[in-house]
Amino acid sequence: MIDIREQFPLLPLDKTLYIAQKLGIKHPTDPKNKLPIIMTTDMLLTVKQEESIKFIAHSIKPSNKLTKRVVEKLQIEKEFFKDQKIEWALITERQINYNLVRNVE
């Protein structure tokens, strides 16, 4: 692992707007002014594999928070990274090995 960036912005904004339109999903907007907001991913990892550098994006959500709207926004995020050929995964509590976490503590 080389780097971990949290709340990594999905830029340019025009790209997520285009993806949302293509998928038929309403792009997230600011509740006050109704303008489109810049989306983020929870974590962007920079990983060294052999002689190359690779990026991996992770969205981390509790499974009980995966509402229809949250899933729609995750679809935009997934397409954003797919277009850039960056591996993307949704992580919920189901993917976490709690025995390992307790051992680390």
State pLDDT tens for residues 46-67. Answer: 999 888 999 999 999 999 999 9
- Residue 65 belongs to domain with CATH number: 3.40.1350.10
Contact 92, 61 (CB under 8 A): yes
pTM for the model:
0.86
Name the amino acid, one letter, at 103.
Answer: N
The domain tally of the chain equals: 1
| 13-23 helix and 68-83 helix, angle to the nearest 10 degrees | 120
Residue 19 corresponds to which tokens in the numbers above? 């993806």
Range of the domain at 17: 3-104
Contact 8, 43 (CB under 8 A): yes
Q: What is the pLDDT at residue 101? A: 53
